[in-house]
């Protein structure tokens, strides 16, 4: 135990995944907000001209560009929360029977229940917008729509061996995430399990995988691991210390939004994202306290967060194909190719597009992502008949 004047740091035996704690409320809310931020940023980028290309942008458009410009930070949040939830959950269950097989079922169902139907939807949208010919049309299939690309994207090989399926540029981050799902249990086997052959096999597998990944993926794995590690840390801090930490975090995030690297995660953006991550995780660790029955605002935020978190992955995966479809309809049916940054009515159209995409993503998740735990439970009953099915976020 480490004590300082305004905070006390404690190391937990188990990752606290209970939903009636402040940090769980924050996690649910941030998962939804991060997906919304990415979708709003991409809608703006696809429909509006870039801010730097406008000679004298209005104050309103500058505000819109600023507040929808945190997609880079949102993806970092995704990775940190993934490490906290997925890594923390696996560490909690290491001593349970068939822990690794159960983990594999959890991860595969989490990804494929959403990705496979999203890729089918992308294929249909591609036909609708003329990106490829319908079956029997006579033209060849573009590489980004081939079966090999479909399967490669299911296994996280986009940008490594195949293009992103259907031109869905948001899929780059799933390459990172998929291989973190693979690397983490192998790293755990190297250090947490007895048996020389198991340790050696895991080490060889990690080495082979790392050899085929790029430097950025490996660098950002350390942030994912930070999320997993910090899930075992509780910081008992005063309210003033929490608000101060939150204020510093917001200031740093704003500074990096204005002055830092804001494209995909690359080596050049790692140090800024490391600092950003440490501040965020310190804040999250300080929220590991139970929500009281009188905390009505926190309880209300928890309900809102849970609603959006339930389909955040669907929104992330499907929003780009939906943007392509809406953009095609606007251009072919309405003659609208670009929105006017100075037009209030065009801002209303932009807002309507974002709301429509969020609504369609919610509808899309109902037959797929919303059924994840049901499918997962049945698979475990079949493959692990003696084990109690466990859910991992």
* pLDDT at residue 391, as a whole number: 57
pLDDT in tens, 109-161: 999 999 999 999 999 999 999 888 776 665 678 999 999 999 999 999 999 99
- Phi/psi for 290 (5° steps) reads -70, 145
pLDDT in tens, 173-232: 999 999 999 999 999 988 876 678 888 888 999 999 999 999 999 999 999 999 999 999
Tokens of 319: 């929003």
Tokens of 269: 């953006």
Question: What's this model's pTM, rounded to 2 decimal places?
Answer: 0.91
User: Comparing C-alpha atoms, which of 253, 237, 247, 240 is closest to residue 23?
Assistant: 237
pLDDT at 387 over 80: no
pLDDT-based confidence at residue 2 (cuts at 50, 70, 90): very low
pLDDT at 322 over 60: yes
Residue count of the chain, please give it: 393
Question: What value, to the nearest 5°, has the Cα angle with vertex 388 and ends 387 and 393?
Answer: 120
pLDDT-based confidence at residue 4 (cuts at 50, 70, 90): very low
| CA separation for the pair 371, 109 (Å, rounded) | 10
pLDDT-based confidence at residue 82 (cuts at 50, 70, 90): very high
| CA separation for the pair 71, 68 (Å, rounded) | 7
| CA separation for the pair 34, 36 (Å, rounded) | 5
Helices 99-128 & 312-333, crossing angle to 10 degrees?
0
* pLDDT at residue 337, as a whole number: 84
Q: Which residue has the tokens 């500074």?
A: 255
Helix (H, G, I), strand (E, B) or coil at 233: strand
| CA separation for the pair 288, 20 (Å, rounded) | 10
User: Comparing C-alpha atoms, which of 120, 116, 107 is closest to residue 178?
Assistant: 107
Alpha helices of 193-269 — where are they, by DSSP H?
Answer: 196-212, 215-230, 239-259
pLDDT in tens, 215-274: 999 999 999 999 999 999 999 998 899 999 999 999 999 999 999 888 888 999 999 999
């Amino acid at each position: 135990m480490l004590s300082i004047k305004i905070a006390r740091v404690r190391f937990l035996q188990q990752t606290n995944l209970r939903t009636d704690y402040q940090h769980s409320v924050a996690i649910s809310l941030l998962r939804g907000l991060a997906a919304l931020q990415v979708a709003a940023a991409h809608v703006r980028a696809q429909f509006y001209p870039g801010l730097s290309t406008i000679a004298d942008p209005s104050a309103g458009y500058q505000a819109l560009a600023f507040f929808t410009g945190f997609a880079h930070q949102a993806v970092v949040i995704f990775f940190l929360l993934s490490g906290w939830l997925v890594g923390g959950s696996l560490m909690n269950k290491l001593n349970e029977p068939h822990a690794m097989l159960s983990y594999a079922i959890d991860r595969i169902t989490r990804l494929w229940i959403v990705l496979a139907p999203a890729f089918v939807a992308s294929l249909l949208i591609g036909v609708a917008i003329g990106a490829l010919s319908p079956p029997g049309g006579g033209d060849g299939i573009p590489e980004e729509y081939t079966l090999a690309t479909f399967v490669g994207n299911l296994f996280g090989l986009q940008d490594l061996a195949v293009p992103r399926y259907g031109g869905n540029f948001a899929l780059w981050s799933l390459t990172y995430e998929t291989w973190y799902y693979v690397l983490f249990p192998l790293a755990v086997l190297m250090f947490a399990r007895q048996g020389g052959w198991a340790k050696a096999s895991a080490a060889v597998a990690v080495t082979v995988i790392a050899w085929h990944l790029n430097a950025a993926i490996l660098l950002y794995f350390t942030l994912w691991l930070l999320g997993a590690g910090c899930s075992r840390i509780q910081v008992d801090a005063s309210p003033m210390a929490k608000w101060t930490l939150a204020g510093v975090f917001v200031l740093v995030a704003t500074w990096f939004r204005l002055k830092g690297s804001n494209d995909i995660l690359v080596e050049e953006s790692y140090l800024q994202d490391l600092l950003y991550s440490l501040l965020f995780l310190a804040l999250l660790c300080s929220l590991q306290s139970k929500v009281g029955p009188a905390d009505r605002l926190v309880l209300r935020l928890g309900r809102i967060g849970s609603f959006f978190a339930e389909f955040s992955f669907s929104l992330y995966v499907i929003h780009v194909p939906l943007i392509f479809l809406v953009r095609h309809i606007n251009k072919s049916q309405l003659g609208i190719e670009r929105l006017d940054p100075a037009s209030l009515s065009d801002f209303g159209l932009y807002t309507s597009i974002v709301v429509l995409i969020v609504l369609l993503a919610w509808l899309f998740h109902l037959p797929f992502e919303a059924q994840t735990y049901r499918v997962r439970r049945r698979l475990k009953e079949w493959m692990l008949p003696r084990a109690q099915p466990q859910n991992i976020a």
